[in-house]
Structure 1
Amino acid sequence: MAEETQKPETVPQAEVVVPEAEKEVSTPPAAAAVVVEGEAEKAVDAEVADAEKIVEQPSFKEETNVVSELPEFQRKAIEELKKLIQDACAKHEFSSPPTPSSPSPAAKEEEKTEEVVVEEEKEQTPATEVAPSPTHVVAAEPPAATTEEEQTPPPVVETKAEEVAPAPAATEIPVAAEAGKEEEKTVETIKETIVEEITPPTVEETTPPTVEVVTPPVEPEEVSIWGIPLLADERTDVILLKFLRARDFKVKEAFTMIRNTVRWRKEFDVDNLLDEDLGNEEYSKVLFTHGFDKEGRIVCYNVFGEFQNKELYQNTFADAEKRKKFLKWLIQFLEKIIRDLDFNPKGINSIVLVNDLKNSPGYGKRDVSKIIDKFLVILQDNYPEFVARQLCINTSWWYVAYYWIYLTVFTPRSKSKFVFASPSKTPETLFKYIAPEHVPVQYGGHSKIGENEFSSADPVTEVIIKPGTKHPIEFAFSEATELVWELRVIGWDVNYGAEFLPEKEGGYTLNISKPKKITLSIDEPVISDSFKVTEAGKVVITIDNQSSKKKKLLYRSKVKVSE
């Protein structure tokens, strides 16, 4: 095939940012590169340190879905895959194969009887020799030669079926000739007896009249995935490219994957699952969507630590029925996200997955890992290339070491989508891919659910404050108005203050917020404040970084017309 003649494309590797404390970089045995973001603990042993020190390489970049912009061998692969799908639809190959029905007891008994009859016939029918039968003739051997003194005829051969009377002596016929005739007659009698006993009676077979059955033409099977009919329009190209990329453009393997996916969707009744009411709003604490990344993709958050809540854990994993319900909810959740994608070749056709590993359930709660593993298998087999990037945040050093081993089974393309970040580097890592106004407050961003003052449409400004320096933020006004702002410093450990300086000479400086030390133990991660301006002047907000590390300041503001 065409794809075999092309040189394989260089696939970017998974990315892990090395913490600042580690300056040495070495290459691990595996081929893919991972970049660990975060500060490694000093007590890490040599093996773990080696696993975290990995050469940094470019991260995953999503390819185009416009067919005309693809290489020739990829365009050819799409056409070959469409032909296979078209032929399969004509043969109804996308339907689940029928389950072979077990024969009824009567049919089994009849089949067994036929086998016994066949075996008996085989035993009666001679292959090379005829087996003796109850009516088989026993004949005496004729004398080798006759003498003149022996005038009596030879002994007559007897059969159990009938007795043969001795022939009268004839003087005109020589004794030897007479014996030969008797012997011929006896042999003929034996043959006739054998034929009568072995040859079954012939039965006249009647051939039933031939009836011509006219079968109506079979319509091609209609197949759709995620509400989009296959081979319908340009949206089909987007779907086919996902399966082809998941199988390195091996057309037959991609076709098998599509066929298995369609069959699985029918067996699991996925399309009807969308409208099913699975209840339990507590699931939304574990898995939810929030905002978009810088490319416009939906961002989905997995918060495994929520299962530390005993009540939630029991309501989700107490029995098989509840575990099955949760798995169905996961699939329903994913299906709803995918249905929001437009599948336009130039549109957004993938999502970003953020895995929060803080307080993740350990080995003591295996029900969680079993369900997650089962869901990941379903995701890998039936939802190819829907996750553009996986950001694993709040990871500990042992988790990075474990996943470094775990990722060896992934393809270089899949590994390049993973990024790991320690707790101290989580906000910074998220901001590389997601704007702060779209990052939830609990992860270092400014996005709050249900807030009214600011929204994701209000951009956040990022500023780096060097160690031992102050950074003022000034807002000048010439008339009465109201200023509203919110800010946060990643890692805090800085002094914050705000004041108003009137433009008029001799005016008094007003302290809006007295300078104070802000630490990580602050209850409110984002400082929100406001000030009503009554005269011309300026509002000055000051961040004083007296620490030995640089800090990242995030803030946004808006001016409201004073009533």
Structure 2
Amino acid sequence: MEATSPLSSSTATSRRLQENQSAQPTSAAKKTFVASLMEAASLRTPSFKEDTYLICHLNNSEKKALLDLKDRFMAAHGPDSMWGMPLVGNGDERADVILLKFLRARDFRVQDALNMLLKCLAWRKEFTAESILEEDLGFKELEGVVAYMHGCDRQGHPVCYNAYGVFKDREMYERIFGDDEKLKRFLRWRVQVLERGIKLLQFKPGGVNSIIQVTDLKDMPKRELRVASNHILSLFQDNYPEMVARKIFINVPWYFSLMYSMFSPFLTQRTKSKFVISKEGNAAETLYKFIRPEEVPVQYGGMSRPSEALNCPPKPASEFTVKGGEKVNIQIEGIEGGATITWDIVVAGWELEYSVEFVPNAEGSYTIAVEKPRRVPASEEAIHNSYSTREAGKLVLSVDNSTSRRRKVAAYRYIVRKSSSSTTAV
């Protein structure tokens, strides 16, 4: 049996009615401070374009710079390795990827790139960065909360999430950052998290050679974390060049301009060009542009829960939009009697009505209200539910956005377990 789940015809009708309505003139809305900042940021820096690290994509001067860096490195330092890979001497294309990262970070100025590389190697030895993954630094309470690797983006980049809102609690702040020794240990743990992400990279021309960073600014105590933030930025920029493909800031508060001016002196123009800024309430819509819904954590409007098996790829979700004034019915047909259907559904920012019905195929059978209509608050995470059928029919998931003018992004997925224990997944 093949299960299908088209949007119902009532949805198409609703869309046609909406599109046929005459456009009413509206007064120009005053831009919010954050919107103005976001626009200014987009004008200030060009969009980032990730390097492929393919030698054939380099121009002649860049190829010459790579060869020159190898020669100068051997003369000044001799053979060495980074992340377990020899840097020169064996023709390993992974070494070229690493060296090109340092060159790109210094705009292919060979001597500057060499100085950066030598300082980085010295720091890694002093910091014992190569063995840091084996250490237990005692931050179990921060794992999966403050900084953690979780899933991949649409291009396969590992994603690192950062959220420092827990430090608004003074007791927590003092326990982690109370003195210089505690700060040093936290920085070491933060490097450990980054090294986990780098372990997932391919270091291969044309491959996945950088990560995505998502930083949640909600409730972040900006003044208290200034020292730690500056240390982290300086440490990462000096020793992990071109390791981040994109920096996505979500739940950006009005005072972001103050933070930006504080961090800006520590950032290169190339780093600034990687920024994506999303104001409060738009986290899911922003993240969906780069990360599939099934890979986004539930607290940010996705479907991924920590309890899900980490070694299995998540079941893919189907994405759709709900226009303002529209009701969408998702029909999952071809369900046999005695089957169990399990589904997940999420709408970014919810604030609409949601319900589920099971419609039997047999004439004279009554429609069953699986989930009665209810208004879902914006704070709701992805809904996860299941229903076991007694007879054949279809399940209808309804999301009603009739009372709103705002378009919303959404996603769903399901699994049908038949009585024979076989499954159909979408």
Please classify the TM superposition score into its range, dividing by the shorter chain length: 0.7 to 0.9
Residues 437 and 455 of structure 1 are in contact (CA less than 8 Å); yes or no, is this contact kept in structure 2?
no
Contact map agreement 1:300 1:351 (CA 8 A) in 2: yes
Q: For 1:64, which of 22, 46, 52 is the aligned residue?
A: 52
1:286 lines up with 2:143 in the alignment: no
Letter in 1 for 2:397: I
Q: Which of 100, 122, 125 is the matching residue for 1:241?
A: 100
Task: Tell me how far 1:451 sits from its aligned partner.
Answer: 3.3
Match of 1:86 among 43, 49, 74: 74
| Alignment partners' CA distance in 1, 2:274 and 2:178 | 34
Q: Give 1:518's aligned residue.
A: 376
> Which of 391, 403, 412 pairs up with 1:555?
412
Please tell me whether the aligned partners of residues 463 and 553 of structure 1 are also in contact (alpha carbons under 8 angstroms).
Answer: yes
**d(CA) in 1 for partners of 2:114, 2:361:** 73
User: What's 1:296 paired with?
Assistant: 156
Q: How does 1:470-485 map to 2 (within 5 A)?
A: 470-477=327-334, 479-480=336-337, 481-485=339-343
User: Structure 1 residue 412 and structure 2 residue 269: aligned?
Assistant: yes
- Residue in 2 aligned with 1:95? none
Deviations 1:375-427 (A, max 9, x none): 21111111100011100111112214652685477443222101111112111
Percentage identity across aligned positions? 42
Give the structure with higher Rg (CA): 1
Pick closer, same or farther for the CA change 1:491–1:275 going to 2, 3 Å.
closer
What's the CA shift for 1:253?
0.9
1:102-161, CA deviations, whole angstroms, 9 ceiling, x for partnerless residues?
Answer: xxxxxxxxxxxxxxxxxxxxxxxxxxxxxxxxxxxxxxxxxxxxxxxxxxxxxxxxxxxx
Quick one: which amino acid aligns to residue 468 of structure 1?
G
Matches for 1:399-548 after TM superposition, within 5 Å: 399-400=256-257, 402-403=259-260, 406-407=263-264, 410-451=267-308, 456-477=313-334, 479-480=336-337, 481-520=339-378, 524-546=380-402, 547-548=404-405
Classify the secondary structure of the residue corresponding to 2:332. strand
How much is the aligned-residue C-alpha RMSD, in angstroms? 2.6
Q: Which letter maps to 2:134?
A: D
| 1:309 is aligned to 2:169 | yes
Preserved CA contact (<8 Å) 2:216 2:251: yes
The alpha-carbon distance between structure 1 residues 542 and 376, as it changes in their structure 2 partners (threshold 3 A), is same
How many Å separate the matches in 1 of 2:180 and 2:168?
Answer: 19
Aligned to 2:11: none
The offset of 1:436, in angstroms, is 0.8
Q: Any stretches of 5+ residues in structure 2 without a counterpart?
A: 1-25, 421-426
Are the aligned partners of 1:446 and 1:526 in contact in 2 as well (CA < 8 Å)?
yes
Aligned equivalent of 1:333, options 183, 189, 193: 193
Aligned-partner residue type, residue 445 of structure 1: G
Structure 1's 529 and 536: CA in aligned 2 closer, same or farther, altered over 3 A?
same
SS in 1 for 2:350: coil
Offset of residue 446 of structure 1:
0.6
Equivalenced residue count is: 388
Change beyond 3 A, Cα 1:455–1:499: farther
Report the residue type matching 1:59 in the other structure: S
Do the aligned residues in 1 keep the contact of 2:149 with 2:159 (CA within 8 Å)? yes
Q: Name the structure where strand makes up a greater proportion of residues.
A: 2
Query: Is 2:123 the counterpart of 1:264?
Result: yes
Contact 2:210 2:244 in 1 (8 A): yes
For the pair 1:354 / 2:210, whether they are aligned, the reply is no
Q: How is 1:13-52 mapped onto 2 (pairs within 5 angstroms)?
A: 41=32, 44=33, 51-52=37-38
Inter-CA distance 334–485: structure 2 relative to 1 (3 Å threshold): same
Moved more, 531-540 or 437-446: 531-540
TM-score with structure 1 setting the length = 0.64
Contact 2:102–2:113 (CA under 8 A) maintained in structure 1: yes
Correspondence 1:77-226 to 2 at 5 A: 77-89=65-77, 221-226=78-83
| Partner Cα separation in structure 2 for residue 321 and residue 405 of structure 1 | 24
Gaps of at least 5 residues in structure 1 are 1-20, 25-38, 90-220
In the other structure, the counterpart of 2:61 is 73
Change (3 A) 1:58 1:445: farther
1:478 Cα deviation from its structure 2 partner:
5.6
1:300 is matched by which residue type in structure 2?
C
